[in-house]
Structure formats: C-alpha cells, structure tokens
Structure 1
Amino acid sequence: MGRGHAEVLAAHPDAEVTAVSRRPLGDAAVHSDYHDLIASGAVDAVSITTPDHLHADVMVAAAEAGLHILVEKPFTTTVADADRAVAAVRAAGVVAMCLFNHRWVPAYAQAKDQMELIGEPVVAYARKNDTIHVPTEMIGWADRTTCAWFLSSHDIDLVTWLYDDVAVEVFATARHGKLRGMGIDTPDAMQIQVRYSRGAVATFESAWIYPNTFPTTVDSYVTVTGEDGVIQLDRQKENIQVATAKAYTYPRNMLQRVVHGQPAGAYRDAIHHFVDCARTGAEPLITVESSRQVTAVLAAAHESAETGRPVTL
C-alpha cells in the first residue's frame, strides 16, 4: 500500500514525494523511521501505510508537527487510539483523512445518490471475503489484526455513509480454526450485526480462508434494503474476464488500475481528493470523526465476539 500511495501521489500535478521512511523510492530522501521523516521539514503531509495497529502514534506525531495526514484503513484498532488521533488532528487544525476509498467506486457513489429512491433504510448485508493468500502470504502481521479490521472496516464505513446514521449496538461472532492450525492466531471469519439509531440493522461478514483457486482475491458484495426498494452492489466481476491454461479470473479494476500509463480508479480518486483538500484546507468527504465511529463499531464487535453479549456504543 505504501508503494501504491506513493505512485498515486507522484502522479498528482500538484504533489511531490520528497521523503519516505525505510524503503527507497525514486529520488525521495530515505529516513530510518517516521520520527526522522516528520522532523526533517521535507514534507507538508504524510501518508501512513503501516500495519493496522501502528497508525495512531504516527498520526499524533504528524498532527503535532502541523502535517496533513492520509492514513490507510482502519483508522485505528482501539477507540482510545482513535480519540487520541482525532484530538491531535483537531487541535492542530490539519487536514486528515482515512482512505476508505470505496466511497469513490462509481457504483457505490451512485448508490449514495440513489438512496432516497429506496426510502428509509431497513437492513443491509455486506460481505468482503479474501483468499487465504492474504493472511498467510500477502501480509506478515495477520496475527495482529483480524479479517474484520482488515476487511469489514471498508463496509462499515460504506453502509454507515449510505444510511446517514450512527451505530448504537453491536453483536458479533468469530470462528477460529484453520488459521490457528497454521500458526496464525487470528479468526478465520467474523459476522457482525449492527443496529443504528433510527432502527435499521446491518450484517457485516468477513473471512479470509477462501481457497486460492477462487477467481478473485476479494469476494465483495453489498445489498441495502429500504422501505421502498433495494440496491445491490456486486463487485466480484468488474467488466473483464481472462481465461488461460492456468486459471479463469476476473481482474480487479474499480479500485486500482493503470490507464495509458497513469494511475486511475477509486483508489487514485480518493488520494487525489485528499491532496486537493490539503492544498485548499477543505474538509475531506471522510471526516476523522466518521472514521473513529468505524473503529468504535469494530472494537465493540471484537468485545462482543469474546463475551458473547451485545455491546452498546
């Protein structure tokens, strides 16, 4: 994700990648850690792509140094860290945004515009499941996060935005087994039920043990039912199918793609939105307070999965 952020930022006509932490990238100065980078005076904004549980300290340090902040999802993995980050951002008056890039997927943005057609929200279901490649090979810190933090954070932000409401109660269950048997202490799957203040409910499913033979790394589906209609969003297939002697696949392209040598897609659009806000001082579409709510829902879900009881927010 760090390289992805850097490539998109470098493609913005009014942005330049001047420094990085730990890993070389082009002509950017390389710093041993984020403290040195922040103190260098070489940047006006930081892009945080550390593992899930390491976001908060970097955000607080950057805000206190007066730097604008783009942070990968989830915002943080504890409510206390979220509150620290929000307080630091607001006290410093900097622009900050969590990269819930799904809000820029054309179909999802269109769904937001169409919500009035289906009436008051009643129930939603969001599934985001990964192949087992992700926790066993793609990331080396799966035991310090969960499929819900890694995957459902996107869907909780999306559905809460579509509902234009706030969550008030959470109940969740988790299943352990396969990954623990492979030496990775994290749930195979979680289901989270959320009740919102106006009475609507939503279920968020996440799993990351699909076989690697599944034709896409991510299986993503959302449905929202209102009193007067329903919206369905299926992102497993994205307008292209490729068959070879090795596999039949549906290459992903809504989030990240390259068109004629330039980054494109929702991921690019979201990051460029942040840059534009940082340059003008405008409030991003995704506020730090809304991202804090996603953290609160997920923290409550993990508490509920451990205790077997619903958690009030």
Structure 2
Amino acid sequence: MCGTGEYTTGWVGTGASKSDKKIGVVGLTLFDLRRLGKVDKLGMVGVNGGKFPAIRKHLDENIGGAYKDMDLSFDEYPEQGKVDPEAYKTAIDKMSPGEAVIIFTPDSEHATVDNCASSIKQFKGTHHPIALYAIERGIHVLVTKPATQLLSHHNELIAAARKHNVCCFVEHHKRFDPVYSDAKARAQTLGEFNFFNAWMSQPKSQLETFRAWAGKDSDISYYLSSHHIDICCWILQDIAVPTRVVASAATGIATSEPYNCVPQTEDTITLLVDWQSTKSPKHKGTAVYTASWTAPLKAGVHSAQHWYYMGEKGDISVDQAHRGYDVTVDETGKTCMKYSPSESGHFDGQRGYGYISIEKFIDAARSVNAGVTKPADYDTHGLPTIANTVLTTAILNAGRISLDEKRAVGIKKDGETWVLE
C-alpha cells in the first residue's frame, strides 16, 4: 500500500478522519481479504516513518477492536524516525514479480511551492513514477484516479504493463456502484449518444484541507470530474469517442479570505467535450462536466454528484448524493462504507463498491499469476484497466491545456495511441 493517508488508513495526521472514511478503505479491505485468504503479507509506504505508531494505534482501536479475526500486521516504509520520499523504491525492491502494489498517494506529495506555475506541464504527480517503477519489476498495480495528469504518462503505463505482462488497473470505484452499472447497461439500449451533463461538488471547507496542493499540483477537475468523466467514457465505450475539449473556469473564492489559495486556483471548472459516434458519421454528441470545491458549507451533503444522459431513444438521471437510502452521522455526515460488523462480529462491508474495486484487482492479479488469464483479457471485460481508462486522462489533460492556453484542444488516435492536438 503506497500512501498511508485517509483512504488507506483513515488517519489524517491529527487523528481519525472526520469524513465517511474514518477507518479507511484500502487497509481495511486488504486486512479482510487476508482473513479470506486472498492476500498474505502486507506493507505500507509513506514518506514520514514517524507517523506509523499513531497509525498502528488508530488501526488497533478502530479495526482490531471492532472486528473479529483481523490480522493487522504490516511492514512499514520508511522506518520510524526516517523521512524518505522514495521509500516506495525500498519497499518495491523487496517484492517479487507477481506481487501487487496499490497506490493511493496524493499528487502533491513531492511538490514544492517553487513549482507553482499554472501550466499542467509543471504539475508534479506521484502516481506515474511509482506505478512505472513497480510495473518494470513485474509487479501488478492498482492506482487511484486520476491515474496520471498527462496523457503521455498514461500511455507510458499502458505500454509498460503490456511489455511486462502485468495487470494495471485504475481505482475508478464508481464503475462498481450498482446504480451506475445498471445505468450503463440501460444506456446501451438508447441508441446513439446525444448529451451528457455531470455536476460534482464539495463544500468550501475542502479548500482548508487541500490548500497545500490546490491550484499548485492539481485542480478540481482532476480531483472530482475524473469520477464522472470516467463513467461517461465507460458508458460510451464502443459507442462514441471524444474529439474536442473546451474548458472554462470560475475564480475568486479559493484565492480570497479565508482560504488564500495560490493565485491560479480555480473555484469551478467546466469542460465541454464533443463526441463522435463510432458507427454513424452524422451522429455527434456533447458532454458537459463541471466540478467545484466552492459549494455552500451547509449544502447537506459532502459531495453533490449527479448526472444526466440523453440518447437517441431515451434518457437517464442519476443523483448519488440522494440515493433513496441515507445514513447520516453527526461527525461524518452521510456514510457510504458499511463499517458495522456482521452477526458473527466480522467485517461486513464486502458489498461496498470501494471494497469490490480492490477485490476485482486482487482477483485479476491472482488469476494471472495462476496462469488462468492474461492481463490483456481484462481490457475486454469493461474493467477500469489502464488501457480502458485512457480517454478519461485524455479529456482531463485536454481540459487543463485548454484553460492554460485558452484554446480548444483536439483528441485523436495516432495509430493505436490517443494523442492531443
């Protein structure tokens, strides 16, 4: 496990997260998969080894104390008392081909204030170097979204995974949400694509949390719109392809009191994307993807997330912030992960889509190791492999360039590789 923060452990440095991921997702899922016999030895990689005593205490109290038969043992990198931004190399060097790495590092982890130019070319992500280092050593990789900020880096990972014959998945967990999965199936019956509109937002308080990297190393479009852009690309796989992106942004809130983010931080980003039918030259569609981290503080939900799809023969509306069954807790708001134990006292959240997305990757890696399947097989299954998610990165990267260079950006296929114009 590369990355020891909220999504992995639920620990955010000052204590347990106040979000709905109070005991994490990745670590909890892998501890449970070990209980079920699907994984064995575990390790965690951070930058500061001094955090591990607090993380272990947090896990012991909130996982070990809550569920039966949970083995919470794991190796830690770097060692306590050491700070090492490249500790992931030490950890991966001790692994063997066929083992697996799950990457949940923030794109800002290695960034510095000196690297704050607004151009995407200056954004310094951690996903690409860690994933490439692992893949080149025959290690299967699951990387959180967005896989990379640059389309060129995404293409490198596709090529490396094929060369080294390993699974490389992107943790687009929304694909495993039963509502989204059902919507995709129904969209296949609606004929040619015409229009898609997505909105995703988080309250302004998130700017306090993300001030260290907001506008410097990533933006709200990469952070939030990546969810619904991937869902749209997934629905439109074999139906249409994106051809042109134009971006627009609202500003002024994030850069003002009390948030004081760097001058190039956008509040809200909208991408307008043209889509061309793969079967009918006359059918073109448009999609609008908007993401904001300046929603009202008392909006009632932590993440507003809804989208609308219109096809030739019908439409679909999805509102995942109000899904008909809500659990709201004073400390964390609405919860999506099932943390309550089963009747026997064991962890009982195996049906959550965050759990399923990790388990699908582990199952694929185990199957490839056993010689039952090949990594390329999963590209045909609709799973979020590195190859199947390339257009998500293409759209996000094109949107960033469009904002920075104030122009439309084309997307096209050059041979077998997607490129930007």
Per-residue deviation at 1:173?
Answer: 0.5
**1:158 aligned residue:** 231
Identify unmatched segments of 5+ residues in structure 2: 1-6, 10-24, 57-71, 79-86, 108-124, 278-283, 342-346, 412-421
**1:306 aligned residue:** 404
Identify unmatched segments of 5+ residues in structure 1: none
Q: Is the 8 A contact 1:73 1:153 kept in 2?
A: yes
**2:348 aligned residue:** 262
Per-residue deviation at 1:89?
Answer: 1.3
Name which of structure 1's ranges 100-109 and 83-92 shifts more when overlaid on structure 2.
Answer: 83-92
Per-residue deviation at 1:139?
Answer: 7.1
Cα distance in structure 2, aligned partners of 1:135 and 1:190: 15
- Does structure 1 residue 167 correspond to structure 2 residue 222? no
Cα distance in structure 2, aligned partners of 1:96 and 1:134: 30
Deviation beyond 3 Å, 4+ runs, structure 1: 23-26, 238-244
Residue 213 to residue 194, structure 1, CA distance change in 2 (3 Å): same
- Does structure 1 residue 45 correspond to structure 2 residue 100? yes
Question: 1:270 is matched by which residue type in structure 2?
Answer: S
Name which of structure 1's ranges 279-288 and 188-197 shifts more when overlaid on structure 2.
Answer: 279-288
Name which of structure 1's ranges 50-59 and 234-243 shifts more when overlaid on structure 2.
Answer: 234-243
Question: 1:105 is matched by which residue type in structure 2?
Answer: D
Residue 138 to residue 27, structure 1, CA distance change in 2 (3 Å): farther
Residue 139 to residue 63, structure 1, CA distance change in 2 (3 Å): farther
Q: Within 5 Å, give how 1:11-160 maps onto structure 2.
A: 11-12=32-33, 13=36, 14-22=38-46, 24=52, 25=56, 26-32=72-78, 33-41=87-95, 44-52=99-107, 53-137=125-209, 140-143=212-215, 144-160=217-233
Cα distance in structure 1, aligned partners of 2:286 and 2:205: 31
Q: Is the 8 A contact 2:328 2:334 kept in 1?
A: no
State the TM-score, normalized to the length of structure 1: 0.92
Q: Secondary structure at the match of 2:101?
A: strand
Per-residue deviation at 1:19?
Answer: 1.1
Aligned residues: 309
Cα distance in structure 2, aligned partners of 1:222 and 1:30: 41
State the TM-score, normalized to the length of structure 2: 0.69
Per-residue deviation at 1:258?
Answer: 2.4
Q: Is the 8 A contact 1:240 1:250 kept in 2?
A: no
- Does structure 1 residue 2 correspond to structure 2 residue 8? yes
Per-residue deviation at 1:140?
Answer: 3.9
Per-residue deviation at 1:217?
Answer: 0.8
Residue 242 to residue 297, structure 1, CA distance change in 2 (3 Å): closer
Question: 2:90 is matched by which residue type in structure 1?
Answer: D
Q: Is the 8 A contact 1:9 1:17 kept in 2?
A: no
Q: Within 5 Å, give how 1:143-222 maps onto structure 2.
A: 143=215, 144-164=217-237, 165-181=240-256, 182-185=259-262, 186-198=265-277, 199-222=284-307
Q: Is the 8 A contact 2:194 2:310 kept in 1?
A: yes
Name the structure with the higher strand share: 1
Greater relative contact order (Cα 8 A, min sep 6): structure 1 or 2? Answer: 1
Q: Secondary structure at the match of 1:47?
A: strand
Cα distance in structure 1, aligned partners of 2:333 and 2:260: 31
Deviations 1:3-50 (A, max 9, x none): 221211221221235211135354211112100110112781001011
Cα distance in structure 2, aligned partners of 1:228 and 1:217: 34
Q: Is the 8 A contact 1:71 1:97 kept in 2?
A: yes
Per-residue deviation at 1:135?
Answer: 3.0
